[in-house]
Amino acid sequence: MVTAAPLIAGIEIGGTKCICILARSPEEIVEQVRLDTRDPATTLGEVDAVFDRWHRDHGFASIGIGSFGPLELNRASPDFGTIVSTPKPGWSDTPIASRFEHFGVPIALDTDVVGAARAEQRWGAARGMTDLAYITVGTGVGVGALVGDRPILGRGNAEMGHMRVSRLPGDDWPGVCRFHGDCVEGLACGGAIAARHGPGPIAADWPGWAPVENALAMLVHNLVVTLQPQQILIGGGVASSQEGLIDAVRRRAVESLAGYYTARDLPDDFVIAPGLGTQAGPLGAIALGLCALQR
Ligand code: ADP
Ligand code: ZN
């Protein structure tokens, strides 16, 4: 196929893995490299080597970076493009965007989940929508929301995975968030599930899934009443591997919303898996890189 789409270098920085991707679109991926997320010097050094090679062998028109946060995204700040105060050991105050400036191409940086939302909007299950939320359930719980086609950005990026939600009756398990204990991330991230379950494989019918489903359903309820999204996508390592989780979350959210007006016109499938599957995150970096060219 002859194509005019520009070649973009992207990176999705996750708490467990970093994915470098060189692509024009979901159908035109030149190369994709998965790296384990270790300390910043090691991991970003490995990323540098991949990007240097791509720059030499292919060139690229822009760079898109989707990262776990919190991130400093205000361009007026001297710390623009830095990961700030993250619970992830060793990664607080790590400059990200400035590391790639020497390539001399436009750079877009946003959260991994805003990137994934942009990819779903461009190529996936939310095509053409201006109001949507992408939830990741993996190392952490993150939400990337577009409202009126713009990501939420106040003093900093929104961290909606840290909302507090009502618990299942009788459930007082403390949760694992270092800051809040039983916020949504503290109850539903991969580490929370592992801590609550203990060692060994987790059965699909483990009773501990119910509080995970509940926490995510309450998050969905809160997103519906605050953002009025047309579509909510749930991705990430936990959601993509636990069959039935997304359906259970949607059922619980519908029950909780109880026909309230924000929920009235929502289609039955308003909470689904990403159309791009596990590629939503990596392609999010490409979508951000394309946004950088349009700025
Ligand atoms: P990242 O957060 O780096 O983007 P993932 O979204 O793949 O990576 O999430 C990885 C996390 O998800 C790890 O903590 C892993 O243990 C957890 N995880 C993946 N699948 C499951 C599952 N079926 N049950 C519980 N935890 C899971
Ligand atoms: Zn928290």
* Ligand that comes closest to the CA of residue 192: 1
More confident call, 294 vs 119: 119
- The chain-wide mean pLDDT, for the chain, equals 96
* Ligand 1 pocket mutation pick from 139, 185, 234, 242 by most atoms within 8 angstroms of CB: 139
Q: Do 197 and 206 touch, CB atoms closer than 8 A?
A: yes
- Residue nearest ligand 1's atom 12 by CA: 138
Is 212's C-beta closer than 6 angstroms to any atom of ligand 1?
no
Query: 3: pLDDT confidence band, cut at 50, 70 and 90?
Result: low
Question: Residue 47 above 90 pLDDT?
Answer: yes
- Give ranges for CATH 3.30.420.40 in the chain: 8-115+278-294, 125-273
Which alpha helices (H) appear in the chain, and where do they start and end?
A: 40-57, 112-123, 184-188, 190-197, 209-227, 237-241, 245-257, 261-264, 280-294
Q: Which residues contact 23 (CB under 8 A, 6 or more apart)?
A: 7, 8, 10, 29, 30, 32, 283, 286
Dihedral, 90, 70, 248, 122 alpha carbons, nearest 10:
-120
Question: Residue 91 above 60 pLDDT?
Answer: yes
pTM greater than 0.85:
yes
Please write the tens of the pLDDT for every residue from 101-153: 999 999 999 999 999 999 999 999 999 999 999 999 999 999 999 999 999 99
What's the pLDDT score for residue 295?
A: 76
Q: Give the whole-number percent of the chain exceeding pLDDT 90.
A: 94
Question: Residue 228 above 90 pLDDT?
Answer: yes
Ligand 2 centroid to 14 CA: how many Å? 17
- Residue nearest ligand 1's atom 9 by CA: 138
What's the average model confidence in pLDDT over 67-71? Answer: 93
Is 196's C-beta closer than 6 angstroms to any atom of ligand 1?
no
Ligand 2 centroid to 122 CA: how many Å? 30
CATH number of 125-273: 3.30.420.40
What's the average model confidence in pLDDT over 11-25? Answer: 97
Q: Do 284 and 112 touch, CB atoms closer than 8 A?
A: yes
Ligand 2 centroid to 163 CA: how many Å? 7
Is 16's C-beta closer than 6 angstroms to any atom of ligand 1?
yes
What's the pLDDT score for residue 1?
A: 55
Residues in a beta bridge with 271: 232
What's the pLDDT score for residue 4?
A: 79
Residue 124 sits at φ, ψ, to 5 deg, of -110, -135
Is 235's C-beta closer than 6 angstroms to any atom of ligand 1?
no
Please write the tens of the pLDDT for every residue from 248-275: 999 999 999 999 999 998 999 999 999 9
Ligand 1 centroid to 238 CA: how many Å? 5
Q: Do 68 and 139 touch, CB atoms closer than 8 A?
A: yes
How big is the CA angle at 165 (ends 152 and 224), to the nearest 5 degrees? 45
Architecture, CATH, for domain 8-115+278-294: 2-Layer Sandwich (3.30)
How big is the CA angle at 218 (ends 212 and 224), to the nearest 5 degrees? 135
Q: Which residues contact 21 (CB under 8 A, 6 or more apart)?
A: 9, 10, 11, 12, 29, 31, 32, 33, 282, 283, 285, 286
More confident call, 1 vs 30: 30
Is 15's C-beta closer than 6 angstroms to any atom of ligand 1?
yes
Is 61's C-beta closer than 6 angstroms to any atom of ligand 1?
no
Query: 2: pLDDT confidence band, cut at 50, 70 and 90?
Result: low
Distances (CA, A) of 61 to 1, 6, 29, 64, 97: 20, 6, 15, 10, 16
Query: 12: pLDDT confidence band, cut at 50, 70 and 90?
Result: very high
Ligand 2 centroid to 181 CA: how many Å? 6
Ligand 2 centroid to 86 CA: how many Å? 11
What's the pLDDT score for residue 92?
A: 94
Is 211's C-beta closer than 6 angstroms to any atom of ligand 1?
no
